[in-house]
Amino acid sequence: MDEQIQQLADRARAEGLRLTGEGGLLGRLTKLVTEAALAGEMDDHLGYGKHDPVGRDGGNSRNGTRAKTVLTEAGPVGISVPRDRDGSFEPAIVKKRQRRLSGVDDLVISLSAKGLTHGEISAHLAEIYGAEVSKQTISTITDRVMDGMAEWQNRPLDPVYPVIFIDCIHVKIREGNVANRPIYVALAVTVDGTRDVLGLWAGEHGDGEGAKYWLRVLSEIKNRGTADCCIVVCDGLKGLPEAIAQVWPQTIVQTCIVHLLRNSFRYASRKDWSAIAKDLKPVYTAPSEQAALDRFAEFSEKWESRYPAIVRLWTNAWAEFVPFLQFDTEIRTIICTTNAIESINARIRRAVNARGHFPSEQAALKCVYLAIMSLDPTGTGRKRWSNRWKKALNAFEITFDGRLSAGRR
């Protein structure tokens, strides 16, 4: 086989053939391999090889071939599909009425996950592969992921998670008028330290991010098998701690420090941002709650007369801000921000922003789902997560004695 491939490559170089596109070397190889596989399938179907005397007067037999063009990753390829006399032959490698090899479908789904519109994907296939694929065909290909999405969205979940990060992104959906719609995302860290996106939920028309809807989302997560969660990290939305307590009474609610800082800067002049950040750092890096209170008193004395809204913001969020101060450094580092889910949201926004707006809720969810499924194609991110969480999980085992063991049974 290696010698034959080398001979083909030498011949292609001598004849000046292209690698891809119509008449290219990869197209010829695809034609040879596909036709050989189809011939082998026909041999298995009839029970004897071509020109084998065993097949004479044996009933069903070969009946020539029919021409067919299939779209491949190397471009359009014309192949000859064998036929039998009674029409019972059902090829597997290129099924009846199949016009694309599976690699093309994977390519279309990958391009869609990166945010390309159906028109852009169609233009890309025409430019690179010389293949005419309609936007409707591309839509049909990507719609196939919806079955997998439904199964993924309803899969059973682990009985306990050390941490669940929850956040919301907004996408533009055209339903009459183009309007912002929230899509809720829940990211969990398993007891083994791996990342697990628990699901996607589209908010109702005209609905902003709300604690009432989060209660429905968290209740669904519980109904899918998650009986306990040690810590939920969120953005400090009003009413959210009460919603979490209804679902998991033992769960600690931690406000994201980054969100608190970001919201603080909204009330301040840009020229004061660096000074405010410097004065707030001793508050959220304090060794204890009492030390944090002392540092916050110093901050309030300096800034309250100028920015009372910032002091009020931190005062109102204090109950959900201080829980992480009671934990070891390993846990603090992990739960003080929603950076874990923000990195996922950044990938989602990149795909969403490339599309502008969506014709329906289903189209928006499909785009977000594809973006999530393409997050870690090589698996290196999974390993990095596991290594990063080892120290924190050891601290969780000690701090939440016995609660994580239920997830390992």
Percent of the chain with pLDDT over 70: 79
State the average pLDDT over residues 169-184. 82
Whether pTM exceeds 0.85: no
Q: Which ranges constitute the DSSP H helices of 248-307?
A: 257-265, 273-284, 289-303
pLDDT band at 205 (very low <50, low <70, confident <90, very high): low
DSSP class per residue in 319-357: HHHGGGGGS-HHHHHHHS--HHHHHHHHHHHHHHHHH--
Average pLDDT (46-62) is 74
CA distance 243 to 263: 22
- Average pLDDT estimate for 339-348: 77
Tell me the pLDDT tens digit for each residue of 64-104. Answer: 888 877 776 656 777 788 888 888 888 776 777 767 666 66
pLDDT tens per residue, range 267-282: 999 999 999 999 998 9
- In single-letter form, the type of residue at position 408 comes to R
As a whole number of angstroms, the distance between CA 262 and CA 264 comes to 5
Using pLDDT thresholds of 50, 70 and 90, give the confidence band for residue 406.
low
Contact by Cβ (8 Å): 231, 399: no
* pLDDT for 115: 67
Backbone angles phi, psi at 207, to 5 degrees: -95, 130
Output the average pLDDT for the chain: 79
pLDDT of residue 278: 92
Tokens 């701090």, located at residue: 399
What's the pLDDT at 398?
81
Tell me the average pLDDT across 170-176: 81
pLDDT of residue 279: 92
Banded pLDDT at 238 (limits 50, 70, 90): confident
Position 342 scores a pLDDT of 74
Task: Find the helix or strand (DSSP H, E) in which 199 lies.
Answer: strand 195-202
Give, in degrees to the nearest 5, the angle at Cα 370 between 367 and 374.
140
